[in-house]
Amino acid sequence: MGFYNILDRHVLLPLADLAYGSEIARQWKELRRTEFLPYPEILALQNIKLNRLIEHCYDSVPYYRKLFDRLGLRPEDILTKEDLSKLPILTKQIIRDNYDDMFSTTIDPKRFRRSSSGGSTGTPLKFCTDNHEWSMQRASTLRAWDSYGLKLGDKVFSLGGDSIARKKNAVSFKNVYDTVIMRNYKFNSSEVDDAGMKQHLDSFKRISPSAIRGYGSSLVIFARYIKETGYKPSGIKVVLTTGEVLMPNYRKELEEVFSAPVFDAYGAGDGGIVSHECSCHNGLHITEELCVIEITDKNGNVLPDGETGFVTTTDLENYAFPFIRYHVGDMSYFKKDSCSCGRHTRQLGEVMGRAGKLLYNKQGVPISPTMLPIMLYPNLDYHCVEYQQEYNKIDRFQIRQDNKGDIQIMLKMKEGVKDTVFKEDIVENYKRHFVGSEVSLLIVDDIPLLPSGKEDYCVSDFHLFEQ
Ligand SMILES: [Zn+2]
């Protein structure tokens, strides 16, 4: 370990916690303690946290109080995760319909961290967390990265949507944490043309990172570009993928180009899910200290291990805006076999429902659909108030690519809203990415859901497997 690694772990991170009221260092230490606990001990820990959460919801979250009263339930009726099936599924629509009632009335609103899901599986959801929840999720990631040999203070080159999501020059804790503590250098994964790729590669060489991280499809596009130039990256310890289904052929390509193992991860800020691959690479270990995951059918009936169903989560750490039995919108299954790495936490198999398709511009350059929600409003910072206000007027959207490569953007506005002021901006921005394509935008009355009931904002004849 180098000097910066030691300084970062033992001085900078604790100092940042102190300055910003987070608790990452402490929770990281606690998670290292529980990493290899026998499963009954993990379950006992979960049950203690579950009881505390249920009591909190009953006492101080109007939505849950009303729900419990309507069902004739008391907090003592939900003591274990098996008892959770007495409660109905929480959907995104239920949250939208009861938004104001989802907040805890006993937590100071000043402590809320307002957030929205990235929308990779549909319309983004507005929700809320706090510093505690945020710290737990970061600590869980640090624990996993540490086990890969990636030390805090090692430089990470990220290619993803977050780079435009991040407010430039803002002195927020997230920015300080990302740049000083995590040394995470972020770049925009939608810049996939030759000029964008050249810039990324120049930055990559200059930074000389220890890890590269991003959507599998974005990293593969970058890796192919690197290969074409004849450059041979060195010094990469790990490739970290997230946010999409990682195709086996992508994993192989990334391992070859970066000469490093690939570790996939799956997480959801709405619902508090964090899961990471271990060195056995045969599933995603759930950080079960933070959440209870059930695999259910659409009505909330628990399915047997190995059977694919809806990922249903109860977030054990979010007291500001609690999620109990929440359908994230992804599908997966529990691995039946225990893992030989020594961890006893359960593993998810492949997670389906995250962006499973690619769109192409006329030059054949693939563009990840994960970028699409962010591309809707190009001239505004993703997290700025105007963006949020304008975005909130959209009920649902869908991008279609026909077999000629042309793009149709369909927007269904909310009740009473007729139009959006950013229509021309949206079309122009899409044209920049989809060079040579006809781009049209329609305000429509309805966008049908898939037969499964899931929203699908990307409809294309192309598929990830096609090259
Ligand atoms: Zn394992």
**For residues 49-73, average pLDDT:** 98
Q: Answer yes or no: is 453 within a domain.
A: yes
Ligand 1 center–CA 266 separation, angstroms:
15
Asked whether the beta carbons of 42 and 195 are under 8 A apart, the reply is no
Q: Report whether pLDDT(195) > 80.
A: yes
Find the helix or strand (DSSP H, E) in which 274 lies.
strand 273-276
What is the model's pTM? 0.77
CA–centroid distance, residue 344 to ligand 1 (Å): 8
Supply the pLDDT for residue 32. Answer: 97
* pLDDT over 80 at 390, yes or no: no
pLDDT for residue 400 is more than 70: yes
Is the pLDDT confidence value at 373 over 80?
no
Query: Does residue 314 form part of some domain?
Result: no
Percent of the chain, pLDDT > 70? 84
* pLDDT for 454 beyond 70: no
pLDDT over 70 (residue 464): no
Average pLDDT over residues 175-188: 86
Question: Residue 26 Cα, ligand 1 centroid: separation in angstroms?
Answer: 24
Classify residue 370: in a domain, yes or no.
yes
288 CA distance to ligand 1 centroid (A)? 13
Query: Is residue 383 scored above 50 in pLDDT?
Result: no
Distances (CA, A) of 66 to 69, 73, 119, 149: 5, 10, 29, 48
Residue 389 lies in a domain: yes
Pair 266, 293: CB distance under 8 Å: no
Q: What is the mean pLDDT of residues 104-122?
A: 77
Round the average pLDDT of the chain to a whole number and report it.
Answer: 85
Q: Which residues pair with 413 in a beta bridge?
A: 394
- What would the pLDDT profile of 3-42 be if each residue is shown by its tens digit? 999 999 999 999 999 988 899 999 999 999 999 999 999 9
User: b or e along 332-362 (b: 16 or more beta carbons within 10 Å of the residue's beta carbon)?
Assistant: bbbbeeebebebbbbbbbbbebbbbbbbbbe
Cβ atoms of residues 302 and 294 within 8 Å: yes
Q: Which two tokens stand for residue 383?
A: 């997290």
Taking the centre of ligand 1 as the mean of its atom positions, its distance from the CA of residue 261, in whole angstroms, is: 15
Would you say residue 392 has pLDDT above 80? no
Does a structural domain hold residue 416? yes
Q: How confident is the model at residue 419, as a pLDDT? A: 83
Ligand 1 center from residue 318 Cα (angstroms): 26
Q: Report how far residue 387's alpha carbon sits from residue 378's, in angstroms, rounded to the nearest whole number.
A: 9
* Nearest C-alpha neighbor of 314 from the set 288, 292, 338: 292
Band (pLDDT 50/70/90 cuts) for residue 467 is very low
**Residues whose CB is less than 8 angstroms from the CB of residue 406 and which lie 6 or more positions away in sequence, other chains included:** 437, 438, 439, 440
pLDDT above 70 (res 310): yes
Q: For residue 138, how far is its CA from the centre of ligand 1 (angstroms)?
A: 20
Q: How far is CA 208 from CA 148, 189, 235, in A?
A: 18, 18, 7
Q: Distance from the CA of 216 to the center of ligand 1, in angstroms?
A: 21
For the segment 60-76, the average pLDDT, to the nearest whole number, is 98
CA of 36 to the centre of ligand 1 (A): 10
pLDDT for the residue numbered 396: 76
With vertex at residue 248, the alpha carbon angle to CA 404 and CA 370, rounded to the nearest 5 degrees, is 50
Question: Does the residue 376 lie in any domain?
Answer: yes
130 falls within a domain: no
Give the mean pLDDT of 247-258. Answer: 85
Q: What is the mean pLDDT of residues 184-192?
A: 79
Say if 371 falls within a structural domain. Answer: yes
Token pair 């994960």: residue: 370
* pLDDT at res. 368: 60
225 C-alpha to ligand 1 centroid (Å): 33
Across 32-152, the runs of DSSP E, i.e. the strands, are 112-116, 126-130
The confidence score (pLDDT) of residue 344 equals 97
Which structural domain range is residue 386 located in?
A: 359-460
- Mean pLDDT is lowest, of 142-156, 228-242, 281-295, 368-382, for 368-382
CA-to-CA distance for 386 and 406, rounded, in angstroms?
A: 29
Average pLDDT over residues 238-263: 87
pLDDT at 243 over 80: no
- Rounded distance between C-alpha atoms, residue 405 and residue 430, angstroms: 12
User: In 3-state terms, what secondary structure has residue 360?
Assistant: strand
Interval between CA 110 and ligand 1 midpoint (Å): 39
- The bridge status of strand 439-443 relative to strand 407-413 is parallel
Identify the pLDDT of residue 465.
Answer: 35
Average pLDDT over residues 182-189: 86
342 C-alpha to center of ligand 1: Å?
A: 6
Residue 152 has pLDDT above 70, yes or no: yes
Domain containing residue 371: CATH number: 3.30.300
Give how many domains the chain has, as a whole number: 1
